[in-house]
Amino acid sequence: MKKFTLDDMPQMSDKVAIVTGANSGLGFYTALGLASADCKVILACRNEHKAKIAIDDIKSRIPDAKLDFIALDLASLESVAGFIKAWQVRKEQKLDILINNAGVMNLPNRTLTKNGFEMQFGTNHLGHFALTIQLLPFLKQAKAPRLIVMSSMAAYYGKIKLDNLNSEKSYSPMKAYSQSKLANLIFALTLAKKEPWLTSLAVHPGIAYTDIQRYNKGIFGIIMRSIPKIVGQSVEDGALPSLYTASSKAVVSGKFYGPEGKGPMSLPNKGSAIEVAIPKHALDDKTAKSLWKLSAKLTNISI
């Protein structure tokens, strides 16, 4: 099939999008792609200095890009609340596209967020859960709102440990990451059911080396840095599933999208953005309901 490229992006001059973690990696190229389609993009980032560097970079390529910055630290529920307050005072509150892209991966030691959650689960899932639920009223103001949740190939072998969500009992960097990415996928699928007015989608970038993998050390780190060059794809191409789902009329709510490859866990995993198989364990209703309930309780946010 023809590979989706930036040339296939429709004009989005009437759209407003938020991209979390937009100052680098996949988030940067997602923001750049949206800006190239004349979409107004809000870079939701923890570091204002890095966000401004990203904005300057995008404007050097697209001088008339419509960009803005709002501070957001997903490891802090207070920062999430501050982001919502900042959005509420904006003249334009309508939100067309929310792309939950930011994340952390494979922290070598169990680290806690400001609210006492394991950092990967707290940042990748709980922070985005709190952000998304509080932005639903603004998404609902748009004609055809979309939520894009960045999951990972790791979701295919992740497990939701309801009695160890925050890794209090035991901690494994990759298991904690995989659990958070599976939680991202389940969250997108659950919202698709709960809110039929919202096109809620999950994506994964295939194998694309980005700064999120900086904690991968030793032989594993060497492999992860080498694989994208051999069987993976560039960071720019890794952002294409996000851009495809943010703009294409062909996507269907409640689905999972990623590079074509030869299958969800086959190599090489690169190519055109297409619908990919959802792992069976992500479709378990009991797990999804329990995860939702616990996420709402931990963040003190629910709908």
pLDDT in tens, 243-252: 999 999 999 9
63 vs 209 pLDDT, higher one: 63
State pLDDT tens for residues 274-284.
999 999 999 99
The three-point CA angle 65-207-22 to 5° equals 25
For residue 299, the one-letter residue type is T
Q: In this structure, is the dihedral angle defined by the CA atoms of residues 12, 303, 182 and 86, taken in order, positive or negative?
A: positive
The residue ranges of DSSP E strands in the chain, in sequence order, are 16-20, 40-45, 67-71, 97-100, 146-150, 199-203, 256-259, 273-276
Cβ proximity of 51 and 73 under 8 Å: no
- Give the burial string for 190-201 (b: 16+ CB within 10 Å, else e): bbbeebeebbbb
Q: Which residue, among 47, 20, 46, 114, has the nearest Cα to 75 in the 3D structure? A: 114
Mean pLDDT of 113-127: 98
Average pLDDT, whole number, for the chain?
91
Mean pLDDT of 152-161: 95
- Alpha-carbon distance 28 to 34, whole Å? 10
- Alpha-carbon distance 81 to 246, whole Å? 25
**What is the reported pLDDT for 272?**
78
Position 157 confidence tier, pLDDT thresholds 50, 70, 90: very high
Mark whether 177 is an active-site residue. yes
**What is the reported pLDDT for 302?**
86
**What is the reported pLDDT for 220?**
46
Residue of 29, 156, 177, 257 marked catalytic: 177
Could you tell me the residue ranges of all domains in the chain?
6-299
- The pTM assigned to this predicted structure is 0.93
**What is the reported pLDDT for 107?**
95
With tokens 């609902």, the residue in question is 140
Whether 63 shows a pLDDT value over 80: the answer reads: yes
- Alpha-carbon distance 236 to 272, whole Å? 12
State pLDDT tens for residues 199-232.
999 999 988 665 544 455 554 455 555 555 555 6
List, in sequence order, every residue forming a beta bridge with 153; answer none if it has no partner: none
Cβ proximity of 224 and 177 under 8 Å: no
**What is the reported pLDDT for 232?**
62
Angle of the 173-194 helix axis to the 128-139 helix axis, nearest 10? 20
Pair of tokens at residue 126: 């709980």
Mean pLDDT of 237-246: 96
Whether 66 shows a pLDDT value over 70: the answer reads: yes
Whole-angstrom Cα Rg for the chain: 18
Structural domain 6-299, CATH architecture: 3-Layer(aba) Sandwich (3.40)
Give 57's contacts (C-beta < 8 A, 6+ positions apart).
28
Whether 262 shows a pLDDT value over 70: the answer reads: no
